[in-house]
Amino acid sequence: MSKTITSEVIWQPSGKYLESRVAGFMRQHGINDWRELIAKSNADTEWFWKNCMEYMGVQWHKPYTRVMNSDRGFPWTTWFEGGEMNIAANILDFHMEAGKKAGDRVSVGKDHPAMIWEGEDGRSRKLTYGELNKLSGQVAQCLLKLNVKAGDAVGIYMPMIPEVVAVLFGCLKIGAVAVPVFSGYGPHPLAARLNDAKARVLFTADAGKRSGKLINIKAEADEAMLHAPCVEHMIVVKHCSNGASMTDGRDMWFHDVVLNQEPAPTVANLPSEHPSMYLYTSGTTGKPKGTVHTHAGALAQIAKELGFAFDCQSSDVFFWVTDIGWMMGPWEMIGTMFWGATMVVYEGHPGYPEPDAVWKIVNRHNVTTLGISPTLIRMLKSKGDEWVDKHDLTGLRLLGSTGEPWDHDTYMWFFEKVGGKRCPIINISGGTEVVGCLLSPLPVMPLKPCSLGGPGLGMAIDVYNEEGKSISGEIGHLVCKKPGPSMTRGFLGDPDRYIDTYFSKFPGIWYHGDWAKVDEDGSWFLFGRSDDTIKVAGKRVGPGEVESVLVEHSDVAEAAVIGVPHPVKGETLICFVVLMPNAEFSTELERELRDMIGARLGSTLKPEEIHCVKVLPKTRSGKIVRGVIRKKYLGETGMDLTSVENPEALDYVMSKQKA
């Protein structure tokens, strides 16, 4: 049995948190508390989205006539039928004249700070809303002169620099479809995405910087072009001046073809369902899955989450450690600009050149909202408290996280050491497929450690058992029972795969592939991906559950767990741990860790082996790549390592064939 809510709650809303934007929405509609709000918004999603859009002051070129149309069934629902609008008109044009009111927001004016950029090499730049609007308009005009039309795809393969934001917004201004691609990907994943989207133009940079190293992005893009004949033009930002080669007739310097343009106006009359972005989700193996996000649907979800969950205000300085190639990049850029806040963009590794790179930025720019992944916090925590203690983080009022389940100790370190026990952790979870959240806390609700609060507003979320019955108090499948406006309109060019991925397990219900649980007090928790499930002697366990136990030990900084074949048990657990500084691996420590897992999860799940490694292989966004670890351990060849930032870490994973 879980403890009572009073003994488990670590954060209670008070003061200004009870006056946040979501509280204002509740007052406007006579809703008494957050439980009633979630229940009403999910029982009547049409009511919620209609009133949410009005409350947020979303600007329409032509009002919609119908909130949603599910005549073709849940998977193919369309939203805001008959309406016309543009994301760019809401996030840039709206703010050009200060003092305009629309719903619960007020335009900030062209001189308000829009962006603070920092590079790990010490360079920095700032842009106002007016400057960002001008640069985005110049990008748009450049695209028009290249004969790019509304609906044409434009690839974005760039480091996190100011121009990447302007390119995204420039595409939106004219109705071109932005295709952000992680700049750490190699040529083949890049080419696969460009070909799938039929991108006609690619924006890139000569190079980027990461952990003190020069990343030759242009050379990777050049190789990708050998396999992406759809791309007619490549526009290159001179960011590092590393002498990148340029191909006559195809390649152009950004400063030559963008900065001399007269800014193009925003095309405001795009249909609500006009695509804004193709965001890819699949890793780098197999055919990538292109998720299709519309102007009205993406803006509805993103603006709601930044406004209601993160209470984003024009006075906020918002910093999420992310990349344009991950969903959180466009999410942050669109959401902060909608509400008139100031966004921090950082190019580099969050632990370089010293482990306090993030804390320095928070201190220097008085960041009010900091978002970061649990894995990155585990890494920064392992470097020692002194790196945090030397900086003033008292300007923070909200913390954010996403990407994976938390373990208790790391969550509490983030809450206590970084947030000073003052700030709620808005721990969100959703996916690229919905360009937003299925689960999200609100600043008006009490929070327990590692909780995700409750269902996202207007998202009709539930937990099902294997028979498709709603359950609580036990782990089951996270599902969504009704359409949401930001859900992908299929997979680009592959509708059957879309149906098979989300609607085949529970017909007519969106199956998200996560393990979830609702406790007796209505707090929601996640336990990892259901497709990562390991089955040991008939008992199922998610690797995240085991990893959470391992990192509770004071000597363990990080952990990765995989399942491998076993002749008797079917599968068995193999664990890899990174130790805290000055800790030593020993037979006694190995026994302690094995016993901790047995005591917490049952003796059946005691691991077969526990290995100490110096570092774990991760993506640039900080996710541990268990699949790659498993393949290396099993001695498999032909691994695609383009998404792995530190492939040398695999040298520490001894192949089973060699063991």
E-assigned strand segments in 206-359:
208-210, 213-215, 233-237, 251-253, 275-281, 289-294, 317-320, 342-347
Cβ atoms 633, 562 nearer than 8 A: yes
- Kind of pairing, strands 113-119 and 124-128? antiparallel
Residue 467 has pLDDT above 60, yes or no: yes
Cβ atoms 297, 487 nearer than 8 A: yes
Q: How far apart are CA 62 and CA 59, in angstroms?
A: 9
State which H helix or E strand residue 436 sits in.
strand 436-440
**Residue 260 neighbours by CB under 8 Å, 6+ apart:** none
Question: CA angle, 452 as apex, 371 and 499 as ends, to 5°?
Answer: 95
Residue 278 has pLDDT above 60, yes or no: yes
Strand ranges of the sheet holding 251-253, from the earlier edge strand across to the other edge: 251-253, 233-237, 199-205, 153-157, 177-180, 275-281, 289-294
Residue 40 has pLDDT above 60, yes or no: yes
Task: List the alpha helices (DSSP H) in 2-80.
Answer: 5-8, 21-28, 34-43, 45-56
Cβ atoms 239, 208 nearer than 8 A: yes
User: In the chain, what is the greatest distance between 2 CA atoms, to the nearest angstrom?
Assistant: 70
Instruction: Give the per-residue pLDDT at 548.
Output: 85
Q: How far apart are CA 21 and CA 18, in angstroms?
A: 9
State pLDDT tens for residues 282-298: 543 457 899 999 999 99
- Which residues on adjacent β-strands are paired with residue 439? 429, 455
Q: Which whole-number Å values give the CA distances from 647 to 628, 642, 651, in the listed order?
A: 10, 9, 8
pLDDT band for 13, please (50, 70, 90 cuts): very high
Instruction: Give the per-residue pLDDT at 512.
Output: 93
Instruction: Give the per-residue pLDDT at 283.
Output: 41
Q: In a 10 Å sphere around its CB, with 0-12 CB exposed, 13-18 middle and 19+ buried, how is residue 638 labelled?
A: exposed
Q: How far apart are CA 161 and CA 289, in angstroms?
A: 26
State which H helix or E strand residue 169 sits in.
helix 162-174
Residue 272 has pLDDT above 80, yes or no: yes
For domain 533-652, give the CATH superfamily.
Answer: ANL, C-terminal domain (3.30.300.30)
Q: How far apart are CA 235 and CA 203, in angstroms?
A: 5
Instruction: Give the per-residue pLDDT at 5.
Output: 36
Q: Give mean pLDDT, residues 335-355.
A: 95
Cβ atoms 167, 156 nearer than 8 A: yes
Residue 642 has pLDDT above 80, yes or no: no
Q: State the distance between the two ends of the chain, measured CA to CA, in whole angstroms.
A: 43
Q: How far apart are CA 318 and CA 630, in angstroms?
A: 37
State both tokens at 48: 């919620």
Q: Give mean pLDDT, residues 198-212.
A: 95
CA-wise closest residue to 328 among 407, 426, 431, 422: 431
Instruction: Give the per-residue pLDDT at 230.
Output: 97
pLDDT band for 1, please (50, 70, 90 cuts): very low
Q: How far apart are CA 284 and CA 69, in angstroms?
A: 34
Cβ atoms 124, 347 nearer than 8 A: no
pLDDT band for 4, please (50, 70, 90 cuts): very low
State pLDDT tens for residues 88-137: 999 999 999 999 999 999 999 999 999 999 999 999 999 999 999 999 99
- Helices 162-174 and 328-338, interaxial angle, to 10°? 70
State both tokens at 345: 């963009």
Of residues 626 and 27, more confidently modeled: 27
Residue 645 has pLDDT above 90, yes or no: no
Q: Give mean pLDDT, residues 466-482.
A: 94
- Which residues on adjacent β-strands are paired with residue 278? 292
State both tokens at 55: 């409350």
Strand ranges of the sheet holding 570-579, from the earlier edge strand across to the other edge: 556-566, 570-579, 609-612
Instruction: Give the per-residue pLDDT at 656.
Output: 56
State pLDDT tens for residues 489-541: 999 999 999 999 999 999 999 999 898 999 999 999 998 877 777 888 777 77
Residue 581 has pLDDT above 50, yes or no: yes
Instruction: Give the per-residue pLDDT at 369.
Output: 98
Q: Give me the residue spans of the domains in the chain.
A: 129-277, 533-652
Instruction: Give the per-residue pLDDT at 358.
Output: 96
With residues binned 3-state (H G I as helix, E B as strand, rest as coil), the percentages for the chain, rounded to 5, are: 35, 25, 45
What is the rounded average pLDDT for all residues in the chain?
A: 92
pLDDT band for 366, please (50, 70, 90 cuts): very high
Instruction: Give the per-residue pLDDT at 658.
Output: 47
Three-state DSSP state, 330: helix
Instruction: Give the per-residue pLDDT at 131.
Output: 98
Lowest mean pLDDT among 147-161, 271-285, 373-387, 490-504: 271-285
E-assigned strand segments in 580-617:
609-612
pLDDT band for 655, please (50, 70, 90 cuts): low
Domain 129-277, what fold? Rossmann fold (3.40.50)
In SS3 terms, 352-375 reads as CCCCCHHHHHHHHCCCCEEECCHH
Residue 319 has pLDDT above 60, yes or no: yes
Instruction: Give the per-residue pLDDT at 282.
Output: 59
